[in-house]
Chains A and B, each alone.
Chain A
Amino acid sequence: MCLAIPVRVNEVINVDEAIVEADGIRKLVSISLLDDVKVGDYVILHVGFALNKIDQQEAEKTLALFAEMAEQK
C-alpha cells in the first residue's frame, strides 16, 4: 500500500501539476507537495502525488557505499 515508484519529471505544467514518465508510461501527477520541481528531476510518486525528490548525489553515495561495504570483509 505504501509502495511508491521513482519517476522522471518530463514537463512542469504549473506549480501543481507535472507530466512524469516511468518505463515509457507518461502520466499527469500532482506536484503540490513539493517546491521547485524541474524537468529532469526524479520524484517518488504515490497515489498520483509526488511525495519527495530523489537526491541524485545521495543516491550515488549509497551505491558507492554498497560497493565499499561489499569489499571490506
Chain B
Amino acid sequence: MKYVDEYRNGDLASQLSAKIHHLANAERSYRFMEFCGGHTHAIFRYGIPDLLPSNVRMIHGPGCPVCVLPMSRLNQAIELAQNKQVILCSYGDMMRVPGSRKMTLLKARAEGADVRMVYSCSDALQIAKDNPKKEVVFFAIGFETTTPPTALIIKQAAAQQVGNFSVFCNHLLTPSAITSILESADIRAMGALMLDGFIGPAHVSTVIGSQPYEYFAREYHRPVVIAGFEPLDLLQAIAMLIQQVNDGRAEVENEFARAVTREGNRKAKKHVADVFELRKEFEWRGLGLVPYSALRINKSYKAFDAENRFNLTTTRTTENRACECPAIIRGVKTPRDCSLFAIGCTPENPIGSCMVSSEGACAAYYSYGRHYEQNND
C-alpha cells in the first residue's frame, strides 16, 4: 500500500536503530512517552523495544479512548441500549468492554437490546431515518479524530430534522490529558524526571495540528515529536527526541509532515467548535477527573444531546485496588508491577483500563511484550 510500505523498510529500520544507538548518550537514560494507543500497539507489533538501546525506554501513555472511558459512562450507554425505545449505535471497539457486573453491550444485545455496530456515525444517522418510530442514539467516543465526524452528523441531523436521533457524547481532548500527566502528583514527587519527551499522536494531530503542543514544550520544557504510525516513523521520531534532549532543546517537531501541519484541519476544527463546548471536567479511567478534557454538545444543538433527552442514572464505580493502571499510564510503573497481570487480568477478562483494548499498555505487553521483558531480566 502506498504511504505505508515505504515506511516499513527493514534495512532502513536497522540503520535508524544503529543511528539511535550512536546518538544515545550511555551516561544517561531517556524515557519517552507515546501518548497514543495506536503508537503503543505499533511499538509492540514491530518490536521497536528490541531496536533501542537499554537506556532508551518507551513509556505507554493513556491514549486509547476505549481504555480511558470511565465505567460509569459505559454503564449509561448500556442503560440506554436496554431502553426498549432505543436503538444504540456504537463503534465496534466498545462492544466487548465490560461495565459494572461484567455487563457488555454485546451481552445486552444477546439479552434482547437493539445494539448496532456501526463503522461510521453516518450509518447511525441513516438507521435513525430508517426507523422513525425508534429513538436512535449514537454512542460517540474518541479523541480529536472522531469528533469532527460526530459534529458533522449532528449538523446534518439538525438540517434534515431527524428528530429521533441523538448523540451520547464522550469525546475527549488529548492536550488536556498530557497536561494532567505532567502535573500528576506521582510525576511531581519523582522530581518531574520521569519523562524526557513525548511522541505526539499522528492522526489526532492531522486535525488539531502541531500548534497545541507548543505549550508543553514551553511550559514543561519537554520536547514533542509528532510521529506517524509506521515503524520507521517511530524510530525517526525517537532519534529526533534524543537529539533534542542531547542539545538541551524542547521544541515541537513534526516527523509526520506528510499529513500534519501546524494549524491542522481548519474546516474540521470549525465544525467541532460549532457543535461542542468544553466540559468543566471529565473522568478518565486511570487518570481521574481531568479539567477541561472533554466535550459536550452546546446549547444550539441541545436537542440532539442524549444526556438531555434521556434521564440517565449515574452509578458510582470503583476500580480494583490492585490495578496499577493509574501508575502505568503516568510512566511510574510497568504492567509487570501489577500482581493481577496475566493472572486475574487478561484481554478476555480485563480488570483495568490498560487491558481493555489492544492499544492499552497491559494488553500490548500481554500480546507481544511479555516474553521479551522476561528474557531481558
Question: Do A and B actually bind?
Answer: yes
Q: A72 to chain B: closest CB distance in Å?
A: 8
Separation of A34 and B206 alpha carbons in the complex (Å): 12
Number of chain A residues close to chain B: CB under 8 A = 39
Q: B236 to chain A: closest CB distance in Å?
A: 6
Cβ contact within 8 Å between B148 and A33: yes
Cβ contact within 8 Å between B122 and A6: no
**Nearest CB to that of A34 among chain B residues?**
B267
**Nearest CB to that of A30 among chain B residues?**
B122
Size class of the contact patch on chain B: 35 or more
Binary interface profile of A, 1-44, with partner B (CB < 8 Å = 1, else 0)?
11111101000000000000011000000101111000000101
> Among A1, A3, A6, which residue has its beta carbon within 8 angstroms of that of B3?
A6
A63 contacts across to B, CB distance below 8 A? 6-7
B119 contacts across to A, CB distance below 8 A? 47-48
A42 contacts across to B, CB distance below 8 A? 2-3
B121 contacts across to A, CB distance below 8 A? 47-48
B203 at the interface (CB under 8 A from A): yes
Which B residues from 17 to 72 make CB contacts under 8 A with A? 18-19, 22, 36-38, 41, 63-66
Binary interface profile of B, 7-23, with partner A (CB < 8 Å = 1, else 0)?
10000100110110010
B341 at the interface (CB under 8 A from A): no
Q: B interface vs A, CB < 8 Å?
A: 1-4, 6-7, 12, 15-16, 18-19, 22, 36-38, 41, 63-66, 91, 93, 119-123, 141-143, 145-146, 148-149, 152, 201-204, 206-207, 229, 232-233, 236, 239, 255-260, 265, 267-268, 271, 357, 359
Cβ contact within 8 Å between A52 and B149: no
A-B contact pairs, 10 of them (CB 8 A): A2-B201, A8-B2, A44-B206, A51-B206, A52-B206, A52-B207, A54-B258, A61-B257, A69-B19, A69-B239
B2 contacts across to A, CB distance below 8 A? 6, 8, 42
Q: B60 to chain A: closest CB distance in Å?
A: 15
Separation of A23 and B5 alpha carbons in the complex (Å): 12
> Among B1, B6, B145, which residue has its beta carbon within 8 angstroms of that of A4?
B145
> Among A23, A59, A73, which residue has its beta carbon within 8 angstroms of that of B1?
A23
Question: A69-B236, A73-B18 are contacts. A2–B204 as well, Cβ < 8 Å?
Answer: yes
Separation of A34 and B259 alpha carbons in the complex (Å): 13
The main secondary structure of chain A at its interface with chain B is: mixed
A62 contacts across to B, CB distance below 8 A? 233, 236, 255-258
**Nearest CB to that of A23 among chain B residues?**
B1
B146 contacts across to A, CB distance below 8 A? 1-2, 46-47
A-B contacts besides A1-B146, A55-B258, 19 pairs, CB < 8 Å:
A1-B141, A2-B36, A2-B37, A2-B145, A6-B3, A30-B122, A30-B149, A33-B149, A33-B265, A42-B3, A48-B119, A52-B206, A55-B259, A62-B255, A66-B16, A69-B15, A69-B236, A70-B19, A73-B22
7 nearest CB pairs, A to B: A48-B120, A70-B15, A59-B258, A6-B3, A52-B206, A58-B257, A58-B258
Cβ contact within 8 Å between B143 and A2: yes
Separation of A58 and B210 alpha carbons in the complex (Å): 15
Separation of A58 and B261 alpha carbons in the complex (Å): 10
**Nearest CB to that of A61 among chain B residues?**
B257
Q: A71 to chain B: closest CB distance in Å?
A: 8
A48 contacts across to B, CB distance below 8 A? 119-123, 149
